[in-house]
Each structure stands twice: as structure tokens, then as C-alpha cells.
Chain A
Amino acid sequence: MNTSRVLALVGKELKRFTREPAVLFMAIAFPLILTLAFGASFGAIGGSETRYPVAVVNMDSGVWSSALKTALTGSQVLNVQNYTDASAAGDDLQQGKVKAVLMIPADFTTSVDSYRANPGNSALWHNTTLALSVDKGSMIANAAVPPIIEQVIAALVTGKSAATRSPVTVGAPTQVESQVISQFAFMAPGMFGYAAIFLIMIVAGAMTGEREQGILRRISVTPTTIGDIFASQVVSNMIVGAVQVAMVYAASSLMGFRAQGGVPGIAIAFLLVMILTTCSVGLGLVVATFARNAGAATGISFVFILPLMFLGTFVPAPESIARFVPTWYVTDALTSILLRGAPVTSPSILLDVLTVSVVSIVIMLAGVLLYRRFGKS
């Protein structure tokens, strides 16, 4: 194998990805659109949420706390839910049932009364602070709920804006990690493998099309070996696989999926998808071996794409059957790491990585052998 030739062919392949609209769509745009579409349909961005459920724990028995609850409800943005128990409210925040918890302290009415009696003399005020906790995973709750509550309280206590000094303040919001998992969060790890599956069609189309047009034959009359061509396919598709991972990661994050596992988690996502691209290249070569032209290659590719997609990615499938496809191991490992926060060194994850590696190498070798034996002409 000659590095210079392989790099020249990789450069050529990458230009194909960027210059041929159909290839660009299948490799890059399609996974991106699908992730955004599924995220919007099943997940997290909260576009339909117009009233944010807020738990109010009232420890004050005075009139002003009742007035505050009425005012909060009247904001048209908050859906006030009354709690008597702070821990129950905290549990519901963790489970995603409410977006924020507001604690009204026992001295709230005393504090408001002290202001009302002496609005110009802060020395006579009774200061108090309302504790606020918000859902860390909800961008909108973080951005919208605290200022709304501050405005409502200011209007109630001082009749002026939130900038006006008063004895009542809202503490800095405590961010609480919500444990609620949207349907999209279960699908997101499967999106990573899903993108790489379509490389089967792209590889098969390239090899068949170039054979059909006589380009491979022409290349065979140069010192370039078939090994150089296979290596360039693996390397270029790995690069595309890495781009796909980055894009799916960004798109799923945008749609509200919060990947666990930190840097090691995303690193293992890159690793697994790049291993899976090797499998896709191998299957692409198998398809190119038997397809007479690029059109047939597209059709035959679905023989592999459909089971890999429906059994191994974001579509729920019986595990006993799904275990027969390599994508299941990628999705299983990524679900454990990115969704459940399992450490990358967990035995089950290492077993998944090992399995998908062995299967991918076997499929790649099978593709190379079949193509060399039957696919060159």
C-alpha cells in the first residue's frame, strides 16, 4: 500500500462527498435533517410549551403569599402548582414534572408589610429571600422563569419594576438536573449509527459507478493496487463518519438531548461510528460485487440498510433478533454511555466495542475478498 496514492484517492473521495449533491445529501444532510425532525417530533425543544409548571411551596400564612400566588398565576406564562412539602416539590422537579420550585418563606408577609409601612426607610424593612430552583435541562425554564417571578414579586411588593429596591429578593436560581428522559433521548444514541449505515449505499454506488464508467479499469493500469483503493474508501468514509458524529451530536444537543459521559463518552461515539464505517465499506463492497450498475447498487444496498436500521438503531426491536446486526452493539454502547452515563470502561461496553470491531473487520475482509474475486469486471 502506498500512502501518497491512498491520500490522493482519499482527497478525490472527499471531493465527491462535497461536490455530488446526492452524495452530500445522503451522507450529511439526511442524518442532520432526520435528527432535527425526530428531535422536534419526539423530544425536547419544548416549542409547544406555553405555560411552565412551577411548584410553589408556601410556608407563609399571611395575605401577601396568597396574593403572590394569584399574581404568578395571572402572569399567563406560569402554571402555579401548590405544594405543602418542599421535598415533594424537589422530587417533581427532578422528574421533570415541574420546571421550577419557588419557596415562599414564612416571613414573606412580614417583609412586605415592613416595606409597605416604610417604603422610603430601608432601615425599618424586614428582609427576606425566596429560594428558587429551576430545571437545568430546560433552556427555556432557565431563561424565562426567574425574570418572570422577579417581575411579579416586584410589582406586588413595590408596584414598580424589578430594579426597585425592596426587602424581598429572589435568591440565585439553583439548577437541578432533571431525570426525566424524553422519547428522543432514547432515540438519539441510535442516530449516531444510523448515519453511518447509509455509507453502504454511497460506497456501493461509487465502486459500481466507477467500474461501469471504466475508471477503476483505468486506475488498474497505474501502479495503484486494489488495496490502495480499499484503504482510500475506508479512510475517506471514516472521515465522513467523524463529521456525521459531530453533526448528529450538535443537532441532538440542539434538540435537547444532553449526552452523558463527557469527553470519554463522545470519544467512544467517534470510535464506534468509525469502526462501523469500516463495516459499511465492507457491505458496500459486497453490494458492488453483485450490482451490475449504480442504480442496482442503490436498490441492493437496502438489503443491508433496512435490517441494520430497524434492528440496530433508534427503532425499538426485540433484543434477541437485534443482536444479529452490528449497529445494535453501537447503539447499546452509546445508550449506556450517552443516556445512562455508564463509564466507558464498563465490561458490557467493552464487549460491545469488541463485538462491533470483530464483526466489522470480518465483513470488511469478506467485502474485499468478494470484490477482488468477482467484482472487478
Chain B
Amino acid sequence: MNAIEIESLSKRFEDKTALDGLSLTIPEGELFGLLGPNGAGKTVTIKTLCGILQPTSGNARVGGYDVHREQEKIHKIIGLCPQEPAYFGYLSGRENIDLFAHLQGVPTKQLKENSTQLIKEVGLSEDADRRASKYSGGMIRRLSLAMALIHDPSIAFLDEPTVAMDPQSRHATWDLIRELKFRGKTVILTSHYIEEVEALADRVGIIDYGKLIALGSPTELKQRNGATTLEDVFIALTGRKIREES
């Protein structure tokens, strides 16, 4: 079964077309990397699939549920780690995670166990009871990731999850993402670190100007474009480096 099915999805804002007839299928259990320059439509794609934005036209199904009509069901099975980490600074890290567990309907009995385990996995055990407003940028990213995964979603949308992390934290996060895949979860990952996507993703989709311009495994994409790295593929297809506009 497919975790994500996107058919001719378009999203237009007043003066800009963010998604232009995007079509894509992601099977269950796949770790899918979504690449594209700034403003290419990666985050809009994720926001549309999560129900934050309404598509202008086209259709999409997440976990078999229609994004137009079945948002409530979609919200129960997905976890979103947004590009801009959103958290309550006056709550501790643990309280932020527990709050989102309650909002996701995690049973109270299970909550403490899940919370403690996840806090350990994201490396926040020592700081879990400090106010989140005191956290460093990397710690906030790890907290945001834990808030997205506390209810053990079957589909995780991770939008730039490792930005501002030091190498140690980034590799620990990679391990966590690999663990999600190992447990059969579907992961949609966007990142500005192309090597990150290359290391983690089963398949990669490159989008530009709201259109899917390449799709395949990192190896396939490199072979198809005669490149040695995924970054070379990216530059060859988009014509510019991914970080130029950031």
C-alpha cells in the first residue's frame, strides 16, 4: 500500500505558483528524500499533505485518507517536525513532549514510558526538565523532533530536522531516522544537507518551481546523470547550488 499518493497537486498563492501539477507516490515504509532549491515547493508540499495549506487543485492521499476531506484521520497517523521549530518556551522539554503526547491522544499509562525513551534517544535526558527557552539551537531541533514522534506516527514529515545541529547531534538524529525506517515507518525528509539525504533516503525526489524534475534512488539518479555525488545531480538539474539562496 502507498503511504502517500499525490496526483496533479497544485498550490497557487496570489503572485506565485508554489506547486505546479506535482504527482508522486511513496510506498509504506520508505524513507523518501525531498530535495529542491529554496522556494522550490518542498515545504509547501509537506504543508499541503499535512493539511496546513489547502491545495488549489489536484488531489492527495496520506495513509489512504483524502487531504480534502479526511484531515482528522490524517492528523492521527502523521507526525510533523516543521522547518521552524515551534515549541512553548515557558514549558520544559519534557512538558512540551508530554503536551503533544496528550494532544495526539497517547494514553497516560504509555506516555511516561514513551516520553522517557524518546528524550533519551534525542539526547535530552539531562536537560529534559529545563525550560525550553534555555535550550541551544541544536537542542531545540532535537526537542522538535521528539514532539513530532512522541505518538509513534506511521508517517513522519521531517522538514529540515538537522539544521543548526552539531555533527554529533546530526548523526544521532540520523540513527533515530534510520530506526524509524527499521520499524516500518514512512519518512518524508527534506534537507539542505544533500549528503544527509544521500546517506538516508531509499529514494529521492528533486523538485523545482513546484514540479518534480527527478525521481529515483540516489544510485539511480547519479547513474542517470553521470554524476559522482547527489549534489552534482542536483546542480546539473536545478542549475544552481542548493544553499545559494539561503
Contact = CB atoms under 8 A, between A and B. Distances in A.
Interface in A245-267: none
Given A12-B99, A15-B90, A223 B80 contact: no
A331 to B, nearest CB: 33
B205 to A, nearest CB: 21
Contact of B78 (A7, A20, A214, A221): A221
Contacts of B75: 221-223
A214 B86 CA distance: 5
B82 A220 contact: no
24 contacts: A2-B105, A5-B102, A5-B105, A9-B103, A11-B99, A12-B95, A15-B90, A15-B91, A16-B88, A213-B84, A213-B86, A214-B82, A214-B84, A215-B88, A218-B82, A218-B147, A219-B103, A220-B52, A221-B75, A222-B103, A222-B104, A223-B72, A223-B75, A223-B76
Given A9-B99, A214-B84, A223-B105, 11 more contacts: A2-B105, A5-B105, A8-B99, A9-B103, A12-B95, A16-B88, A213-B84, A215-B86, A221-B78, A223-B72, A224-B103
B174 interface: no
Given A15-B90, A214-B82, A221 B105 contact: no
Contacts of B50: 221
B52 A217 contact: yes
A4 B90 contact: no
Interface string A1-29: 01011011101100110011000000000
Contacts of A4: 102, 105
Contact of A16 (B52, B90, B103): B90
A217 B47 CA distance: 10
A12 B91 contact: yes
Contacts of A218: 80, 82, 86, 147
B111 to A, nearest CB: 10
Contacts of B78: 221
Q: Please indicate which of the listed interface residues B72, B76, B99 has the most CB atoms of chain A within 10 Å of its own CB.
A: B99
Contacts of B88: 12, 16, 215
A219 B100 CA distance: 8
Interface string B76-98: 10101010101110110001000
Interface residues of A, number: 23
Nearest to A20: B90
B87 A215 contact: yes
Nearest to B144: A218
Interface string B11-42: 00000000000000000000000000000000
A19 B103 contact: no
Q: Please indicate which of the listed interface residues B90, B91, B105 has the most CB atoms of chain A within 10 Å of its own CB.
A: B90
Chain B contact residues, majority secondary structure:
mixed
Contact of B95 (A9, A15, A215, A220): A15
A15 to B, nearest CB: 6
B161 to A, nearest CB: 14
Interface of B: 50-52, 72, 75-76, 78, 80, 82, 84, 86-88, 90-91, 95, 99-100, 102-105, 131, 147
B51 A220 contact: yes
A4 to B, nearest CB: 6
A221 B79 CA distance: 8
Contacts of B51: 220-221
A2 to B, nearest CB: 8
Interface in A143-174: none
B190 to A, nearest CB: 16
A309 to B, nearest CB: 27
A19 B88 CA distance: 11
Contacts of A9: 99, 103
A219 B86 CA distance: 9
Contact of B90 (A11, A19, A214, A222): A19
Contacts of A214: 82, 84, 86
Nearest to B80: A221
Nearest to A17: B90
Interface string A202-246: 000000000001110111111110000000000000000000000
A351 to B, nearest CB: 41
Contacts of B147: 218
A117 to B, nearest CB: 80
Interface string A265-304: 0000000000000000000000000000000000000000
A11 B100 CA distance: 12
A208 to B, nearest CB: 14
A222 B72 CA distance: 8
Nearest to B98: A8
Contacts of A7: 102
B147 to A, nearest CB: 8
B17 to A, nearest CB: 19
Interface in A1-59: 2, 4-5, 7-9, 11-12, 15-16, 19-20
B55 to A, nearest CB: 16
A41 to B, nearest CB: 34
B104 A223 contact: yes
Question: Which 9 pairs, one residue from A and one from B, show the smallest C-beta to C-beta distance?
Answer: A8-B102, A214-B86, A218-B86, A222-B103, A19-B90, A215-B86, A221-B80, A224-B103, A221-B50
Interface string A95-113: 0000000000000000000
A8 B75 CA distance: 18
A220 B47 CA distance: 11
A174 to B, nearest CB: 55
B52 A221 contact: yes
A18 to B, nearest CB: 9
Nearest to A19: B90
Contacts of B72: 223
